[in-house]
Structure formats: C-alpha cells, structure tokens
C-alpha cells in the first residue's frame, strides 16, 4: 500500500471515529474492606517499568519518514557581498578596502589625475605615483576622484581610525611644496605621510613618533577615501556619539534596530531613512544573511529582492535563503514555519505523508495543507478487537489498545488510551496481568479493574476495618495520614498544621487533643467537631481560660461580668435562660419532659421549651410519645397519639348509632332512610320504594328484585336500578325455551310466565298493569289502558319489534278540563299541584327564595321532597367568569332576562386550572356547593339519576316541564349554544360563536369524569325521553346551572 492510499484509509477511520465515538460507563466493580490492605500501595510499578508493558510488534498503517520529505536548495549570496576592493571613477585603479568601526576606508593612496593640474607625483617622478599615489593640492579636486559613494575624510575621521589601532596600512608618500619659481620641493618620502582632509587640515603621520593634525599650509599631500556605513553587525561597532556623529543613524543587525546619535548617546529609533533603494548588505554571521534597503530602511532580503521568480514552472520549489526556508506555493513564495521549515512544504502531493521532525516529534501532512502532530490513529489506525491489550509507542507517548472499557464506535473500533497523565503516567497501563492490583496515585487508592481501567476508591473504604482492634491507630495512603477514630468509629483524615511552638507539623489526634497552638497571633485548639472528628479550630475565649469542654460534661462557670456554659463539647458565653435556671441544662441528643406548676417543660436536643398544659392534658394527663390509646366520652373521642391529644367530635349519626370503626359493618334503618357503617363512615341514603316493599339493602346480603320493567340489584349495601332484560330473569329461572314454555312461577311475590309464542319470546313479569288488564301487554290488547293504585295511567303500546310494553301516560291528560267552570281549581299532577288559570293548567306550588349574596330572587319548586331552583342561576362569580349570548367576553352585569352560562370549574367554585385536573380529592362528599347560594348545592349524578326515576313514575318524558307546557313548576326552557374559544393572549376564555338554533335545557352536575382530567358530564332534560347524561364534554364548555337545596 502506498503512502497516499494508506492515508486515505486512516483519514476515513478518523472521520468515522469523530462521528460515531461514544463513551461507555466506567466499570462498577467494588472492592470491599480488606483487613490485609497495607497503608502503602501494593505495587509501585511506574512509567517505564515492566508493569507498564512495552511496544508490541503491531505494524504502522503508513510509512513514517525520518527527516524532511523534500530537499532544499541553499541560495549562494556571496555575489551580494560588499567585496574587498573598489574601482575609482575613471575605472583605471582598484583600491583595497578595510572597515574600521562603521566606516570603510581605501587602503591605498588615491592615484588618479585631477581635471585641473593640481596633483603631481613625488619629485615629478611618475614611477613613484604607482607605489605612493599622487599628491594633491586641492581637496575638492581629489574628492571628485574618489569612488562612487566615497569622500575625503575629516580630521576627526582620521582620529577615530588612528585611535582604533586598525591596520590601515599607511603609505609614507611625503609631500611637496611649490616654491617662488613654481618649482616643487618634495620631502619626507618613506618617512612621513601627509593626509589631506576636507575640513582644511592635514594629518601628519610620521613613521616614527606621534601623529598630529596641522592647518593646511598649501602643500601637496596624499588622499585616502572613506565611506560611512548605514548598517553594521554589532552595537559595539558604533563610535562614540560625539559632535562628529551628531544626527548619524546606523542600523545594527544583531539588535535589529537603528540607532540615532542624539545629545551624546546612541538611542534606538524606528523612524529613519539611512539607505537607498536597491542597496544590499551581506552579513557574515552564523550563516550568510542578505539585507536590502526598502523604503530607506534595512530589512532581511527576500527571494523577490534577488529576482528569484515563483512560477508554474518551479511550483513547490524548495529553497533556503537568509536561514529561512521558502516554498513556491500557488500564492507565491511562502516562508515555511516549523515544522514545515524542517520537513518541507505540505501540499496536495504530500497529503497523508507522515514524517519525523526529530526523534520524538512526528507530524502528518493533512489535506488542509498543514503539518499537524500525528496521532496514534494516524500511525497505527484504530484499536481493533484483534489488537486488544497491545501497547504501541508514538514519539514519547505510549498507547494501550483497550477493548473492554466500553469506549467504541459501532462495536468495531475502540479508542487508544495514552500514558500522558493520570495513573497511566505514573504506574503504567491496567493490563490483564494487573487486574485487582492496587496502587496509590495522588494520595488516593486506584485499583485495576477487569475492564483494563484504573478506578479510584475512597481511601477509607480500602483501609482495614476501623473496629476496636484498631481504635486510635493510624495508617497512610501516600502522604495522607488517617486515624481510626474510636468516637466516630470510622477512619478520618488527620489534619496537619504548622505552628510557632513546634518546628515540625502538628497532627490533631488524641495525643494533641485539647492542646492550644499559635499561628500568626491566632490561637488554635485541637478538638472534636459535630461529627466527632478531630480538627483544629480557633480557640474561644473560654477555651483559652478554662481549657477544653468535654462532650460528656455540662457545667457552668460564673464570673463577675460573664457566665460560661460548658455543654455538649463546647463553651458558650451567655446568661442562663429562665428554663435552665429552673430545670438545669438541656443536653444534646436528649428528650424528656417535666411538669411543674401546671406547665409542661420539654428538653429536646439541647433546648428547653415550656407551655401551659392544655385542657386535655389537665383532664387525661400527658400523652407519651410512644403510646396510642383513646378515651370515648358521650359526645367526643379523645385520642393520645405521638405525644399529643386530639379530639374527635361525634357527628349526629355516631351519637345516635355509635362509632363506626374500620372493622365494623352494620346497618341502622329509620322510617325513610338507611344508615350504613362502612369503611369508618356512616353513610345515609333514602330508602327505595322497593326496600319499603321488600327489604333494606345492607352490606351483609345481596338480592335482586323486580318491579314492572325495572330491576333492582342490591350489592354491598348499594342498590343499582336499570331496565329489566330477559337476561335478568334467565339468570334466576333459566332460559325461556320450548322446554320451559308455559312455565308459571312466583319469585318474591312476583309472577313470571315463559311464553315462547309471544313476540318477545322470553320470561314475562306480570306487573300491576298486567294484573289489572288480566293478561300481559301484547298485540292482542294493544291500546288498552289501566289505572294503577297510585293513580298512574298506563297504556299497552307497540314499543318496536318484538316488544310491547305498558307506557306511562302524562297525568295532565287525566286531569279535569281547565275551563271557566274550573277556573282556580287546584289538582294534583302526580309530582306537584297545578291550578287552572285562563283555561290552562299552570304550576300551583311555586315559591321564591332570595340569594343573599346579590339580592336576586329565584322561583323554586319542591318535587317529591327535593327543592329545585325553577330558574337558571344568574350570579356573577368571585372565582371564574359568567357569560351570556350578548357578548363574546365575560360579563360584569346580568340583565333580568339573560340566560347565564358557566364553565364546569366555575360552576364547581374552582379556579380554571382545574379545567385540566382531577378534582375527586378536593371534596369529602357528593354535596358540592360550588357557585350556588348558601344552603344550596350543585346537583350530583346520583341525585339527578334518582330524580329521573321518580319523575318517570308519573311522566314518560319532560315535555310537560317546558315553558308554556309546564304544569309541574320546574320551568325548563330551550337554550342557545355558546361555543367557547381559548385566547392565549387573555387570562380568560371568550365566546367564539353563538348558535341561533336552540337546544334542550342542559345543566352542569357536580360528579366529575373519574378517568378524564379535562372532561365533565352535563345533564339534558329530554322532551321525548328520560333524563340524558350527555357524553362528556371539555370542562370549559359553557352550560347553565340549576341548584338544589341541601337536605
């Protein structure tokens, strides 16, 4: 596999790991306390030992190169050197150069003819000019002959040169003086040098003796040329900052800064111009460095400064200049930074290449064109099942292939663990052969688990068991010291501190208990804290005076100005309270009671409390915390439980029949009611007619009873009533089939006949109507009417195949005619009384009640012992809102003729939050007042159900209860339908639509839907049928309310 292909695989693996990597939970093995554990680690195998393991023979997935991946060409800069010679302007003479300080001098005397006849050879001998140079009269003429950039020195320049002791190779050329006859007289050759300066002076340098500077006396003398450098290698090259150099600026390479001679000192400057564009300077340091002048400032030259192109033809060429490695990239020459400066450019041709910059540093060329530190995944790939337990090394780091730790990708690739830090770094990896090995790291116990992971444990859990055999002994875990504390009966870490009284640290243990030490003017005492652990605490005033207060003592020390109380192991400076003065100190962890002066005092966990005896305690004594009993009186039961008396006042039923307990079940019957003791509670209900006729339904006996077409089933003291079906009869008498045809039987005084030829082919119950008619209701007597003993009229009707039944007829049809003759006549209608008024029967028993809350008056009617509102409630609630058909918003006033609607929670007197909550636990009984006036309540399901049974004894439906047809007095009327909408921006619901169609009278009842939080049952008074309990609707639906008076 070549390098590129291997790299692609590694990259794909890394991408998968980053996308799918998942961490598993740490192992949960637990080491129990073991008495044989030493206080030191059982193994001290550290990094680099055999316990750590060594690299296996696992092969790398890529080739790892040593050193650079490409060669670099070093650019020869010698051609840019300053050179050791210079040519004069005429191009005919070459002068050797020397550098002195920051000046460059010619080492030979100037030997070029001036334009004007102001120069000569010594004694007119042209041959002497070659070795001694020419002698000049006018400095200006000589200056014009210096090489470009050079000038005639000043006398001060010569002074610096001569004092520098540099070998400037003086040439003793003598001098010539023009006589009166214009003839030259020349003297001093090979003896004295006369150097002309540009500041009208001559520097005289004898071969023997001291050099001097004289005023130019008009003689012919020698000329040397010099140039001031604007760049130098070292700051030490700079001359003294004198007036001679005032304002001179020189760039110093080793300082990477320019220096300006200002006021006698060289000062670093950033704003300067010292050179001309194109100037270059080759610095011969550790390596050749070429400097170039850019914008008047010296800077390291780049490849562009020497005209080295970066084109497509030499793309990715690698060269080194000025010690910097460059690569010709797509964007031009780029200076390579480490590690590219060592390894070479990272580009597409090298993507995936892995190379070592040195023996301990490995890099990979990523497809981002960057060198990055290579990871173990780059070099060895993923940790696979087949590599489990393998240890490999990359640079200075070792890696362990752990396939048991749970850190994996798709159960295929596992993650490498490194030894860079933690327990692995100090003790090596947790390999299979080290499972259960215990080590100490960072003063903590770590154990090697079977999952090849180190797990830390609480040090005290691995120390030997702290029992009586080890009490007050110590043990170490690393540098931490632990004490087996016999008071706390557990190991505790020992606190060590440095104090002024001791040279070494002090341990707060039994030996130091109660001792006081000093640390920076602060006093500390070794004592027990609230957990009974030894610890250093700031010593209190009392402890400094009287020493430690032991935990099992209590006493008081009284001084002239203060009182100190020792109690529960601590001192308090305070006065005794009234209880302590009377009863003594109350210790922690104690509880007892004292009776004095008709008061009860309790010591509870360090504090006294007192109170007067309550009325029960005065009569029955103190109720102990650990006793429970009751005392039964005539009107109440007094119970002692958990240290206090409670009074339960017996209710009327309990006073009448006795206490109903959880283990009792019995019945008491009065004239019209039954009281059942069941589950600690007396329950009262009205007797059903069937119970008056047959027997009372009690929890002790179940029975089934039939009346007409209704079945009464008694179970656990409760009666359920429903339509009779053949299944009820067959359950008692067997199936009515051909074998049983004609069978005539009597059950509980009721006659039953099996008639398979009848259209309903079933058991037929002979009712009172059947007896009066002489046969049961069938097609043969269809239309026949009979009148029962209670005045109820029945007619045999076809109630749909295959049934015929006796149908209750409206009592109104059998009342006398309402005409002028009977005006004012009052007649019973079965439920109430009606009066003949204006040729129409109308209710006669209606009366009125007043709601004291707002003064509104309502019509009311009593039907079969139950008093109902004969009008819809029209009250503005204090909880919730009221609505009418006149506004989409809750109303604040109600008109006399307005029909008012409420949500179920408002009707129940509850906050709207209960529109979506269960409410069963909010009420103790079925009687819920809700929004009704005092003494009235919202009808329950049970009340409505039995009311409907009573009504249908006399009426088949509720058509005679509505509006103009109402003869009873309930005054039902049709209602409009209001559709409610929820507006999240308001605190209340709004009416989103009002239907023009009317609906039957529908009211809320109080019984909730037990299996649905947001729903409730409304009740509908049907004109054609019996009362309907409508399918449940959401509680925020709007319906009217009729209240019923409490019993």
Q: Which of 84-98, 272-286, 341-355, 907-921 is the least confident region?
A: 907-921
Digit-coded pLDDT (tens) for 247-262: 899 999 899 999 999 9
The Cα 747–Cα 732 span in angstroms is: 9
- The pLDDT value recorded for residue 539 is 93
Digit-coded pLDDT (tens) for 489-526: 999 999 999 999 999 999 999 999 999 999 999 999 99
The Cα 326–Cα 574 span in angstroms is: 84
The Cα 841–Cα 860 span in angstroms is: 18
Q: How many CB atoms lie within 10 A of CB 679?
A: 11
Q: What is the DSSP letter of 925?
A: S
Compute φ and ψ for 1027, nearest 5 degrees: -60, 135
Domain ranges of the chain: 80-228, 460-551, 846-1045
Token pair listed for 244: 């001679």
Token pair listed for 770: 């059947």
Region 224-233: mean pLDDT is 92
Q: How many CB atoms lie within 10 A of CB 767?
A: 22
Strand partners, 1041: none
Q: Which of 440-444, 725-729, 1030-1034 has the highest mean pLDDT?
A: 440-444
| HEC letters along 930-945 | CCCCCCEEECCHHHHH
SS3 306: helix
Across 864-954, where does the E strand assignment appear? 866-869, 936-937
The Cα 605–Cα 370 span in angstroms is: 72
Q: What dihedral do alpha carbons 388, 392, 396, 402 form, nearest 10°?
A: -10
- The pLDDT value recorded for residue 53 is 45
Q: 1037 falls in which pLDDT band (50, 70, 90)?
A: confident
The Cα 763–Cα 709 span in angstroms is: 12
Token pair listed for 935: 């003494």
| 475-501 burial: b if 16+ Cβ within 10 Å, else e | bbbbebbbbbbbebebbbbbbeeebee
- The pLDDT value recorded for residue 249 is 93
- The pLDDT value recorded for residue 855 is 94
Digit-coded pLDDT (tens) for 775-788: 888 888 999 999 98
SS3 946: helix
CA angle at 908 for the pair 903 and 912, rounded to the nearest 5° = 55
Token pair listed for 194: 């006369």
Q: 371 falls in which pLDDT band (50, 70, 90)?
A: very high
Residue 326: exposure state from Cβ atoms within 10 A (0-12, 13-18, ≥19): buried
Q: 339 falls in which pLDDT band (50, 70, 90)?
A: very high
Strand partners, 566: 555, 571
Q: 583 falls in which pLDDT band (50, 70, 90)?
A: confident
- The pLDDT value recorded for residue 766 is 84
Q: Is the pLDDT of residue 1019 over 50?
A: yes
**Cβ(1023)–Cβ(1002) under 8 Å?**
no
Region 566-577: mean pLDDT is 86
Q: 33 falls in which pLDDT band (50, 70, 90)?
A: very low
% of the chain surpassing 90 pLDDT: 35
Digit-coded pLDDT (tens) for 841-868: 999 999 999 999 999 999 999 998 899 9
- The pLDDT value recorded for residue 2 is 40
Averaged pLDDT of the chain = 84
Digit-coded pLDDT (tens) for 309-326: 999 888 998 898 888 899
Token pair listed for 503: 């040279």
Q: Is the pLDDT of residue 192 over 90?
A: yes
The Cα 866–Cα 862 span in angstroms is: 5
Helices and strands (DSSP H and E) totals, the chain: 17, 77
Compute φ and ψ for 867, nearest 5 degrees: -100, 125
Q: What is the largest CA-CA distance in the chain?
A: 193
Which of residues 986 and 834 earns the better pLDDT score? 834
% of the chain surpassing 70 pLDDT: 88
| 186-213 burial: b if 16+ Cβ within 10 Å, else e | bebbeebbbbbbbeebbbbbeeeeebee
- The pLDDT value recorded for residue 446 is 94
Which of residues 10 and 550 earns the better pLDDT score? 550
Q: Which of 30-39, 667-676, 728-737, 745-754 is the least confident region?
A: 30-39
Token pair listed for 679: 């589950």
Query: Which residues have a Cβ under 8 Å from the Cβ of 38 and sit 6 or more positions away?
Result: none
Digit-coded pLDDT (tens) for 881-901: 888 888 888 888 998 888 999
- The pLDDT value recorded for residue 175 is 96
**Cβ(390)–Cβ(399) under 8 Å?**
no
Region 69-85: mean pLDDT is 81
Strand 644-649 relative to strand 297-300: parallel, antiparallel, unpaired?
unpaired
The structure's pTM equals: 0.47
Across 152-310, where does the E strand assignment appear? 173-178, 184-189, 192-196, 201-206, 212-215, 226-228, 231-232, 249-252, 257-262, 265-269, 280-284, 288-294, 297-300
- The pLDDT value recorded for residue 21 is 37
Q: 14 falls in which pLDDT band (50, 70, 90)?
A: very low
The Cα 129–Cα 125 span in angstroms is: 7
Q: What is the DSSP letter of 265?
A: E
The Cα 11–Cα 387 span in angstroms is: 20
Digit-coded pLDDT (tens) for 386-424: 888 899 999 999 999 988 876 665 566 788 899 988 999
**Cβ(903)–Cβ(989) under 8 Å?**
yes
Region 913-935: mean pLDDT is 73
| 895-931 burial: b if 16+ Cβ within 10 Å, else e | eeebbbbbbbbbbbbbebebbeeebeeeeeeebbbbb
Q: What dihedral do alpha carbons 1015, 1020, 1024, 1027 form, nearest 10°?
A: 90
Q: 607 falls in which pLDDT band (50, 70, 90)?
A: confident
- The pLDDT value recorded for residue 847 is 95
Q: Is the pLDDT of residue 17 over 70?
A: no
Q: 87 falls in which pLDDT band (50, 70, 90)?
A: confident
Q: 587 falls in which pLDDT band (50, 70, 90)?
A: confident
Length of the chain: 1047
- The pLDDT value recorded for residue 675 is 79
């Amino acid at each position: 596999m070549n390098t590129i292909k291997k790299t692609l695989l590694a990259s794909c693996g890394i991408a998968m790991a980053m996308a799918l990597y998942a961490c598993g939970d740490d192992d949960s093995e637990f080491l129990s306390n073991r008495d044989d554990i030493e206080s030191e680690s059982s193994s001290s195998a550290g990094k680099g030992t055999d316990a750590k393991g060594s690299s296996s023979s696992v092969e790398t997935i890529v080739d790892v190169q040593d050193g650079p991946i490409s060669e670099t060409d070093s650019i020869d800069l010698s051609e840019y050197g300053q050179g050791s010679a210079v040519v004069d302007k005429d191009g005919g003479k070459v002068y050797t150069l020397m550098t002195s300080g920051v000046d460059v001098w010619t080492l030979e005397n100037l030997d070029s003819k001036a334009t004007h006849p102001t120069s000569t050879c010594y004694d007119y001998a042209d041959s002497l000019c070659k070795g001694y140079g020419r002698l000049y009269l006018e400095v200006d003429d000589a200056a014009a002959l210096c090489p470009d950039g050079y000038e005639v020195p000043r006398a001060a320049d010569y002074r610096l040169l001569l004092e520098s002791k540099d070998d400037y190779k003086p040439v003793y050329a003598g001098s010539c003086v023009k006589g009166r006859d214009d003839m030259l007289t020349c003297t001093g050759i090979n003896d004295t040098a006369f150097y002309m300066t540009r500041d009208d002076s001559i520097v005289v340098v004898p071969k023997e003796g001291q050099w001097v500077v004289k005023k130019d006396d008009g003689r012919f003398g020698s000329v040397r040329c010099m140039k001031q450098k604007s760049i130098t290698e070292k700051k030490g090259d700079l001359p003294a900052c004198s007036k001679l150099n005032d304002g001179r600026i020189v760039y110093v390479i080793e300082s990477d800064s320019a220096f300006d001679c200002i006021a006698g000192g060289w000062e670093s400057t950033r704003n300067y111009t010292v050179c001309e564009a194109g100037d270059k300077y080759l610095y011969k340091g550790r390596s050749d460095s070429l400097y170039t002048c850019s914008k008047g400032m010296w800077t390291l030259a780049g490849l562009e400064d020497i005209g080295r192109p970066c084109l497509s033809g030499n793309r990715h060429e690698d060269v080194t200049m000025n010690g910097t490695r460059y690569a010709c990239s797509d964007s031009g020459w780029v200076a390579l930074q480490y590690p590219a400066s060592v390894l070479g450019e990272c580009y597409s041709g090298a993507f995936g290449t892995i190379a070592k910059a040195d023996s301990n540093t490995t890099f990979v060329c990523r497809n981002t064109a960057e060198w990055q530190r290579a990871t173990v995944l780059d070099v060895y790939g993923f940790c696979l099942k087949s590599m489990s337990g393998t240890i490999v090394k990359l640079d200075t780091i070792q890696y362990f292939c752990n396939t048991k730790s749970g850190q994996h990708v798709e159960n295929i690739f596992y993650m490498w663990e490194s030894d860079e830090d933690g327990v692995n770094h100090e003790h090596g990896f947790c390999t299979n052969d080290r499972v259960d090995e215990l080590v100490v790291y960072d003063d903590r116990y770590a154990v090697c688990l079977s999952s090849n992971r180190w797990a830390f444990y609480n040090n005290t859990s691995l120390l030997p068991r702290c029992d009586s055999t080890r009490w007050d002994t110590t043990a170490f875990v690393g540098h931490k010291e632990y004490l087996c504390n016999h008071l706390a009966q557990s190991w505790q870490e020992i606190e060590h501190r440095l104090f002024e009284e001791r040279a070494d640290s002090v341990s707060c243990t039994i030996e130091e208990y109660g001792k006081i030490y000093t640390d920076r003017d602060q006093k500390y005492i070794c004592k027990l804290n609230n957990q009974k652990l030894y610890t250093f605490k700031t010593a209190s005033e009392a402890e400094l005076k009287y020493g430690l207060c032991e935990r099992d003592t209590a006493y008081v020390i009284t001084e002239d100005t203060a009182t100190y109380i020792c109690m529960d192991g601590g001192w308090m400076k305070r006065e005794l309270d009234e209880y302590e003065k009377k009863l003594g100190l109350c210790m922690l962890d104690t509880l007892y009671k004292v009776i004095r002066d008709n008061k009860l005092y309790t010591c509870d966990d360090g504090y006294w409390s007192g109170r007067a005896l309550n009325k029960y305690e005065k009569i029955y004594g103190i109720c102990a915390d650990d006793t429970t009993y009751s005392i039964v009186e005539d009107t109440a039961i007094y119970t002692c439980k958990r240290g206090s008396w409670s009074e339960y006042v017996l209710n009327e039923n309990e006073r009448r029949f006795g206490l109903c307990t959880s283990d009792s079940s019995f019945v008491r019957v009065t004239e019209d009611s039954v009281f059942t003791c069941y589950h600690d509670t007396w329950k009262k209900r009205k007797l059903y007619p069937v119970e008056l006729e047959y027997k009372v339904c009690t929890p002790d006996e179940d029975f089934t009873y039939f009346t007409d077409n209704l079945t009464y089933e008694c179970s656990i003291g409760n009666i359920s009533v429903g339509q009779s079906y053949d299944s009820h009869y067959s359950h008692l008498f067997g199936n009515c089939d051909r074998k049983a045809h004609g069978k005539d039987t009597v059950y509980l005084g009721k006659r039953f006949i099996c008639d398979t030829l009848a259209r309903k082919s079933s058991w037929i119950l002979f009712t009172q109507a059947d007896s009066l008619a002489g046969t049961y209701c069938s097609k043969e007597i269809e239309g026949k009417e009979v009148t029962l003993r209670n005045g109820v009229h029945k007619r045999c009707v076809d109630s749909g195949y295959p049934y015929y039944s006796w149908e209750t007829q409206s009592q109104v049809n059998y009342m006398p005619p309402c005409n002028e003759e009977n005006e004012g006549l009052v007649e019973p209608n079965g439920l109430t009384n009606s009066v003949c008024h204006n040729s129409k029967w109308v209710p006669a028993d209606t009366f009125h009640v007043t709601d004291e809350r707002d003064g509104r008056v309502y019509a009311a009617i009593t039907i079969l012992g139950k008093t109902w509102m004969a009008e819809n409630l029209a009250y503005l609630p204090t909880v919730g809102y009221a609505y009418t058909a006149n506004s989409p918003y809750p109303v604040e006033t109600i008109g006399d003729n307005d029909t008012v609607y409420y949500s179920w929670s408002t009707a129940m007197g509850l906050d709207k939050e209960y529109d979506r909550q269960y409410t069963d636990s909010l009420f103790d009984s079925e009687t819920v007042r809700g929004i009704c006036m005092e003494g009235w309540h919202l009808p329950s399901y049970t009340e409505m159900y039995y009311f409907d049974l009573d009504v249908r004894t006399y009426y088949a439906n509720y058509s005679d209860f509505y509006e103009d047809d109402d003869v009873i007095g309930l005054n039902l009327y049709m209602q409009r339908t209001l559709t409610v909408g929820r507006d999240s921006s308001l605190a209340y619901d709004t009416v989103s639509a009002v239907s023009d169609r009317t609906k039957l009278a529908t009211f809320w009842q109080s019984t909730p839907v037990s299996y649905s939080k947001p729903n409730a049952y409304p009740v509908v008074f049907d004109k054609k049928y019996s009362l309907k309990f409508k399918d449940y609707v959401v509680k925020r639906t709007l319906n009217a309310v009729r209240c019923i008076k409490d019993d």
